[in-house]
Amino acid sequence: MNKQPLAITVNGHERQIFVAPYYSLLDTLRDELRLTGTKKGCDEGDCGACTVILDGKPVTSCLVLAMSAQGSDVTTVEGLATPDALHPVQQAFIERGGLQCGYCTPGLIMAAVGLLQDNPRPSAEEVKFAIGGNLCRCTGYTKVVEAILLAADRMASQC
């Protein structure tokens, strides 16, 4: 079971790495690429903490075999901010108090980013549906939904 070559673009950087054939994308991001912003919660696709954007779509990276992401484009929470500013979703989470302990936050933010790509002006119901796969044990979700709606407002008014 030797490591195999994997070419993958992460947060805009083309990476050539070697990974074990049974490694998940999540473990590859955290262990091989040292991108530990993406969290491991359940490792079985229940909690959403490991959500990243894979080829434009939010996915639970614990359920992706790294080798099956050959040639893919991945965005993690580390890839959202610019040197000058946080991403509008990140900024809104801070302003609205959409986080407490923070463990679920990268996954929730990536799920929100994925939603707003497809649906820039979601209703509160659509936001709740889109983050149904993300567990948060602190916030009760109310402030998370408010933050995502605020980010949607700001992003839409920028366009």
Partner 1 sequence: MLRFDFLEARNLRHAIALLQRHGNDSRVVAGSTDFLVRWRQGFWRPAAVVNLKGIASLGRISFSPRNGLRLGALATVQSVESNAHIRRRYQALATGATSFAGVQVRNLATIGGNVCNASPAGDTLPALLAFDAQCTIAGPQGTRTLPLTEFFLGPGRTALEQGEVLTQLTLPAPMPRTGSLYIKHSPRGAMDIATVGVASVVTLEEDGRTCRDARIALGAVGPTPFRATEAENLLRGRTLTPGLLGQAAQAAEAAAKPIDDVRGSAGYRRAMVEALTTRTLQHALQMASGRAVTFEEQRRLAVQTAF
Q: How far is the CB of 122 from partner 1 (least distance, A)?
A: 11
Answer yes or no: are the C-beta atoms of 105 and 58 closer than 8 Å: no
Angle at 114 between CA 75 and CA 90, to 5 degrees: 75
Q: How far is the CB of 82 from partner 1 (least distance, A)?
A: 25
- Residue number with CB closer to partner 1 (102 or 132): 132
Cα 130 to chain centroid, rounded: 13
Q: How far is the CB of 84 from partner 1 (least distance, A)?
A: 29
CA atoms within 13 A on the CB side of 151: 31
Q: How far is the CB of 3 from partner 1 (least distance, A)?
A: 11
Where does this chain bind partner 1 (CB under 8 A)? 1, 4, 20-22, 24, 43-48, 51, 54, 57-60, 62-65, 67-68, 70, 111, 114-115, 125, 128-130, 132-134, 140-141
- Residue number with CB closer to partner 1 (33 or 59): 59
- CA–CA dist 117, 76 (Å, integer): 15
Answer yes or no: are the C-beta atoms of 26 and 19 closer than 8 Å: no
Q: How far is the CB of 94 from partner 1 (least distance, A)?
A: 22
- Residue number with CB closer to partner 1 (48 or 79): 48
Answer yes or no: are the C-beta atoms of 43 and 90 closer than 8 Å: no
Q: Measuring CA to CA, how many Å separate 37 from each of 21, 154, 156, 158?
A: 23, 24, 27, 27
- Residue number with CB closer to partner 1 (97 or 132): 132
- Residue number with CB closer to partner 1 (2 or 82): 2
